[in-house]
Amino acid sequence: MTQQSSPPRSRRRAGVRLAIGAALAVAGMAAAVLASEAALRLARFEYHLTPIVQVGWPDPQTIESRYADDPDLFWVTRDYQDKLRLARRTHPAVIFMGDSCTEFGAYPAETIEQLAHAHGIVVAGIHVAVGGWTSEQGLAQFRGDILALRPHVVVVYYGWNDHWMALGPTDPELYDARRLLWLSRHLRVVQLVLKAKMALAAKHAGKNRVPPERYRQNLLEIADTAKRAGIVPVFVTAPSNHVPGHEPEYLLRRHVRSLADVVPLHQQYIRLTRDAAAEAGAVLCDAAAEFERLPPPRDRYFQADGIHFTSPGDRQLAQVVSGCIAGALH
Query: How buried is 296 (Cβ within 10 angstroms: 0-12 exposed, 13-18 middle, 19+ buried)?
Result: exposed
The per-residue pLDDT for 324 is 98
Residues 113, 90: Cα–Cα separation, whole Å:
17
Among candidate residues 97, 127, 92, the one with its CA nearest the CA of residue 109? 127
Statement: the pTM of the whole predicted model exceeds 0.95: no
DSSP-based helix, strand, coil % in the chain, nearest 5: 55, 10, 35
Looking at residue 165, the DSSP 8-state letter turns out to be: B
Helices (H), 171-261: 171-177, 181-184, 188-202, 212-228, 251-254
Check: CB of residue 242 under 8 Å from CB of residue 263.
yes
Among candidate residues 77, 86, 80, the one with its CA nearest the CA of residue 125? 86
The per-residue pLDDT for 179 is 65
Q: Which domains, and CATH codes, for the chain?
A: 23-52+171-204 (no CATH), 67-167+206-329 (3.40.50.1110)
The per-residue pLDDT for 146 is 98
Residuewise pLDDT in 10s, the chain (330 residues): 445 555 566 777 776 777 776 776 676 766 765 676 677 677 776 666 555 566 788 888 888 899 998 888 999 999 999 999 999 999 999 999 999 999 999 999 999 999 999 999 999 999 999 999 999 999 999 999 999 999 999 999 999 999 999 988 889 988 876 666 666 666 676 666 666 666 665 565 569 999 999 999 999 999 999 999 999 999 999 999 999 999 999 999 989 999 999 999 999 999 999 999 999 999 999 999 999 999 988 999 999 999 999 999 999 999 999 999 999 987
The per-residue pLDDT for 57 is 85
CA dihedral 243, 107, 99, 73 (to 10 degrees): -170
